[in-house]
Amino acid sequence: MAFHWIDPEDYSFNCILLMDRYLIRQLCKREGYQEEYLRNLGIALAYHPAVAWYCREKAPEIAEDVEQLVKNAPKDCDEEQVRSAECFVLDYQDWAVVYMYPERMNLRCPYICDWNPERLLELADFTDKVVLDVGAGSGRLAFAAARKAKSVYASEPVDRLREFMRDKIRKEGIQNVTVLDGTCDRLPYEDNTFDIVMSGHVVGDDYEKELGELTRVVKNGGWILDCPGEDDRQASLKQELLERGFEYFYYKSGNGGDVYRYRKQIFKNR
């Protein structure tokens, strides 16, 4: 699904070589994708053998998928057809491409660059709290929370984004943010660790499993927050969250879209 965050013509297909196993697995698995995407991906990989090799080696679990995609690709494509296939893939997976360039991501993605940190801070009292940001990305929520929190742990599965946050921490001398690997369905933390667990644009693939994991690591009486950024799209309430006891807060984005934020206080002894 393209978000139109990039112009694919500005990017080389070799940017795939910057991606880690987590992203390669998302891009190259055949399951769940339409034939048009798989056909274009096969062409792009077939005419970039170094990228195809990298994908197989970096994510062995999808090596057979890559081999099959390359095998099925036509062998008589001209330069224009190959570039068209590359651009199709880069545009379709623009969310992953932009992750490789976090500086551009922060400047060009409206959900980050047009967002006001107060939209997060008004959802809970962050003062002296121990906070977890799940799927931290480039640190939109983590660094906002760090203004008031005692400590913030930024959990992010994409290596390039983790290093971007660590560079920011070093450059700006930030003392209370720690960056670690982790996904929302498998967090590397003990039970009842955090006062606040927050995310944005993360939960939704498997609500039961993901919210169960967020609930596991939050303290009794703590808060789970879902705080998306700005948007130009029309949105509807997430019934899956409302059915699980979350309350919502709505505002009209300056970009014209709908933004729903959610929170729930967790009580474990009831």
CATH 3.10.20.30 fits 110-265, yes or no: no
Q: Check residue 83 and give its pLDDT.
A: 98
Where are the chain's structural domains?
8-100, 110-265
Q: E strand or H helix at 241, and its extent?
A: helix 239-242
Residue numbers of the chain with a pLDDT score lower than 50: none
Over its C-alpha atoms, the chain yields an Rg (Å, rounded) of 20
Q: Check residue 270 and give its pLDDT.
A: 60
Q: Check residue 32 and give its pLDDT.
A: 86
Residue 220 contacts residue 268 (beta carbons within 8 Å): yes
Whole-angstrom distance, CA of residue 133 vs CA of residue 151: 11
Model confidence, pTM: 0.90
Residue 174 contacts residue 144 (beta carbons within 8 Å): no
Q: Check residue 47 and give its pLDDT.
A: 98
